[in-house]
A = this chain, B = another copy of it.
Amino acid sequence: MESISYKEAAAVFQLLSHPVRLHILDELRRGEACVCHLQTILQRPQAYVSQHLRVLRAAAVVEGQRNGLNIYYHIVDDRVLRLLAELLGPAQDARSVPICPCPSCAGD
């Protein structure tokens, strides 16, 4: 692996230096989730969640794929997964209960 500069490494840590982004990423570790999931779990306004998702998207840490009206996000950066595991511990089990009115929660 090519060595990473301090500036680049700092940028990665910077992404993880916000509690809301950490919460989002920790949820995404459990499996992909649409914005309405995250909105419900975080108890934050949709626009607010979306802003943080944009930061993570711009840094190529997460990716979203559209499915009808909903966009499902997932983590695509392995370094970030390892850093999360190092500090937060292993990921929780996948969700099983519906948490929002999206099709996959409705069992539709």
Q: What's the minimum C-beta distance from A33 to chain B, rounded to whole angstroms? A: 16
- Whether B87 pairs with A79 at a CB distance below 8 angstroms is yes
A16-55, CB < 8 A from B: 16-23, 26
A75-104, CB < 8 A from B: 79, 82-83, 86-89
Q: Considering the chains assembled together, what is the distance between the CA atoms of A11 and B18 in angstroms? A: 8
A49-79, CB < 8 A from B: 79
Number of copies: 2
Nearest CB in chain B to that of A11: its residue? B17
Q: What's the minimum C-beta distance from A91 to chain B, rounded to whole angstroms? A: 13
- Collect the chain B residues with CB atoms within 8 Å of residue A86's CB: 79, 82-83, 86
Can you give 19 contacting A-B residue pairs, CB < 8 Å? Answer: A1-B89, A3-B88, A3-B89, A9-B19, A9-B22, A9-B88, A10-B18, A10-B19, A10-B21, A10-B22, A11-B17, A13-B13, A13-B16, A13-B17, A13-B22, A17-B17, A82-B86, A83-B86, A83-B87
